[in-house]
Structure 1
Amino acid sequence: MARTSVIARERKRKRLVEKYAQKRAELKANGDYEALDKLPKNASPVRLHNRCKLTGRPRGYMRKFGISRVTFREMASNGKIPGITKASW
């Protein structure tokens, strides 16, 4: 599991992106890049990184479910994800 400080940092970035989204869009549309440069760095959506909602794992993230592949496999094996079954042939 990821450190709680890393998970908290990512949450903080997400809030900043949401807070400044409207202002960033207006500044970009007007071409005012100097004012855009004065916004916080973490207000840019490029700085966000997808993380598992349960463990905070940054790699192997599955967008459709919002969790990592490891967590997905555990939950699927336990039958906690509806419609997902283990393949057998």
Structure 2
Amino acid sequence: MAKRNMIEREAKRAKLVAKLGKKRDALKAVVVSATASYDEKQAAAVALQKLPRDSSYTRQRNRCALTGRSRGVYSKFGLARHKLREAAMRGEVPGLKKASW
């Protein structure tokens, strides 16, 4: 089980991304725009820098939905490898079974 503060930190990041994601995307579009003037680009870059770092979606980390583990997480299922294997053995994941040959 991951530390409680790490799980809460990820939840906080997800909230910030949901809240400021559109604003951040709009500012980034102005910065890379070919039609925007130099002053507009500078103003957009300054505004982008003033936003919290955690509002960037790239700062989020995939975590297991059950344990909060950050490594070995299958994004398709949202579970860490240990919990995915346990769920597959119990038959809780449709269409997934342990390989045997």
TM-score > 0.5 by shorter chain: yes
Q: Alignment length, in residue pairs?
A: 89
Q: Structure 1 residue 40: deviation in Å?
A: 0.7
Is 1:7 matched with 2:7? yes
Q: Structure 1 residue 16: deviation in Å?
A: 0.2
Gap runs ≥5 in structure 1: none
Identity of aligned residues (%): 51
Of the three residues 72, 75, 91, the one matched with 1:60 is 72
Q: Give CA-to-partner distance per residue, 1:8-66, whole Å, 9 cap, x none.
A: 11011011011111100111111211100000111011111100011000000101101
Gap runs ≥5 in structure 2: 32-43
Q: Give CA-to-partner distance per residue, 1:59-86, whole Å, 9 cap, x none.
A: 0010110111111001111111111112
Greater helix share, structure number: 2
TM-score (norm 2): 0.84
Q: Displaced runs of 4+ in structure 1, greater than 6 A?
A: none
Structure 1 vs Structure 2 CA RMSD: 0.9
Alignment partners' CA distance in 1, 2:53 and 2:68? 22
